[in-house]
Structure 1
Amino acid sequence: MTYRLRLDPTVHAIYTALPEPARRDMAVLLLDSLDDPLAHSTPYGEDDGILRTLALGSITLAALIGHDTKTITVLQISYLG
């Protein structure tokens, strides 16, 4: 089952301020992870299957995976640019 993406308005504002290549990396990363977020991420600290790190190119995200609600909530965006 496909997960839904959730972005807080503040996180979305950070996304919109990124340069185009970083926005593209983030979009590809999130779209790829919607089908199976655990396969496209690594543990963020202790492996609880909920708080995860997703990374591609110049973008690293901290995300909360809601298995019961089938949601991926982006908590933080890090850009190495």
Structure 2
Amino acid sequence: MAIIQKTSTGEFTTRIGDAARLFTAAVRAIALTIVNRRAARRLADLPDYLLNDIGLKRDDVHDALNRDWRCDPTYLLAVKSAENIYRSKGR
């Protein structure tokens, strides 16, 4: 009877590989969120008439940027733009 249970090397490497893939996915998601937040901040610098051309208001941009840091503001802005354009066409 052994005090220490032997594990197979394959099981250990599988766990390490899964952890590495999870870590890589998390780093990519954080990097993408940072890039998208930077793009949304550039939208905040645009004049009102240009924001209006893409179906946004200044308040929409500020609301999206003031959300939680993990939230992607470009997704929220795309949804808000589509809603505003749909609403302005009277549908």
Length-normalised TM-score, structure 1: 0.32
Max radius of gyration: which structure? Answer: 2
Write 1 or 2 for the structure with the bigger share of strand. Answer: 1
Q: Which structure is higher in RCO with an 8 Å CA cutoff and minimum separation 6?
A: 1
Length-normalised TM-score, structure 2: 0.29
